[in-house]
Amino acid sequence: MNAHLLINSSYLLAAFLFILGLKRMSSPKTARSGIIWAGFGMGVATIAAFFTPHLGNIPLIIIAVMLGSFAAFVSAKKVAMTDMPQMIALYNGMGGGAAAAIAAVELIRVTNHGIGDYTLTVIILAVAGALIGAISLSGSVIAFAKLQGIIRTAWTFPMQQVFNLLIFLATLVLGYLIVTQSQDPAGISGMVLFAFFALALLFGILVAIPIGGADMPVIISLFNALTGLAVAFEGFVLGNAAMIIAGTVVGSAGTLLTQLMAKAMNRSLANVLFSGFGSKETGEAMDVDGSMKPIEAMDVSVMMAYAQNVIIVPGYGMAVAQAQHKVWELTKLLQDKGVNVRFAIHPVAGRMPGHMNVLLAEAGVPYDIIADLDEINADFQSADVALVIGANDVVNPVARIDPNSPIYGMPILDADKAKNVIVIKRGQGKGFSGVENHLFYADNTRMLYGDGQKMVAELSQHIKEF
């Protein structure tokens, strides 16, 4: 078997494993095996690449693979589940950065050795991949900084969108110059190439810097899609079928996920990218009636222990408190007393798509008692208790009733329709959108103040004593 046939056959197998893995990742029940299958596919593609004819710098490649694998293994073992969004953001950026680096190497090669066998189409794809990959890299780094708390505010300035547009147009002009200069015997200007990458990186920063925390699931999905697209473009440049297929699969999946996230917030992608959350022109928001009414853990435990139906609504506060294991312990105690317990997950709860599902799965919560918004919303009316742990904007009823609210029209979990609502919260602050939550002031709502993990543990202890 010649090298080309072996490589192409391996890439075909890798592509099959990528698609199989992605398919299995669509369900929580098979997601773990899907990741393993996709990992095998990446291993096959990596090994096959070493059989490329006339491949040079093999020792350096092996060292790079070993260092990268070691760093990924250690970081994946050490990172807390609550910090998973930050790790995902960084990995997105690394993928985009790798694609941009490939493009830079190929364009520098054209500058030093002439266009050679490259066609104009290949040069255009290299420039496009470089642009998209650089944007994904710098934007993902900003997303990481926001999720990590390094950058705590959404930075805006006057005429920001006009400035961003000018930067983008300037980057496109430089990209056009690179394409035209590649046809010139003198080659591509080093200054033009440097300025192109610098502006592309700057544009990625400018896109991500005004995005608020509430929009993070959408922006992470978008950068994931951009990374896939950049990898696919560079796959065409290198003639690497595995990169083309993997990039296309990731790009298309990321695009669909971005659309789903935006739909879950009832906002267009353009609104997420070009409007700060709540920046639209609105009238005066509704006044809040009533007051927040505190309750003690003992009273909550009695209420839940003698309930028939309980729905738990987890949010980012649960992740911060690392309360998922205590929540599952509480759930089992309630089930032992004959209480029907289910979990309600909003599509944008947390800081990345599927964040709550990952945390609950890590704690061992069975998949069959976890439901998404469409599946469970009608059941809140028959719920005796809705226990909200760290969720805020995704249960705010003003999204249904106040046209002047910046979150108006966003689909929410109808927790307010339960007979009793218990909200575990550290204090009386607002959510990431900055919108006052009217649920907290409702007649059927009581506030259990304190750290999520400690409060849930206290509830479990009281239930054990009954």
Distances (CA, A) of 439 to 276, 373, 453: 24, 17, 22
CB of 412 within 8 A of CB of 435?
Answer: no
Q: Is 393 a known active-site residue? A: yes
Residue 291 amino acid letter? S
Longest Cα–Cα distance of the chain, Å, equals 85
Q: What is the dihedral of CA 404, 407, 413, 419, to 10 degrees?
A: -40
Distance (Å, whole) CA 363 – CA 357: 10
CB of 242 within 8 A of CB of 235?
Answer: yes
Distance (Å, whole) CA 256 – CA 262: 10
**310: part of which helix (H) or strand (E)?**
strand 309-314
Distances (CA, A) of 452 to 82, 259, 391, 424: 14, 32, 11, 6
Distance (Å, whole) CA 257 – CA 246: 16
CB of 140 within 8 A of CB of 110?
Answer: no
Distance (Å, whole) CA 296 – CA 384: 18
Record the tokens describing residue 62, joined without a space: 């092996």
Distances (CA, A) of 8 to 5, 40, 137, 240: 5, 16, 29, 9
Instruction: Tell me the CA end-to-end span of the chain in Å, nearest whole number.
Output: 72
Distances (CA, A) of 350 to 16, 56, 355: 32, 45, 6
Distance (Å, whole) CA 178 – CA 19: 35
Helices (runs of H) and strands (runs of E) counted in the chain: 17, 6
Q: What angle do CA 417, 421, 426 make, to 5 degrees?
A: 135
Catalytic residue, candidates 379, 393, 402, 414: 393
Please list the active-site residues: 393
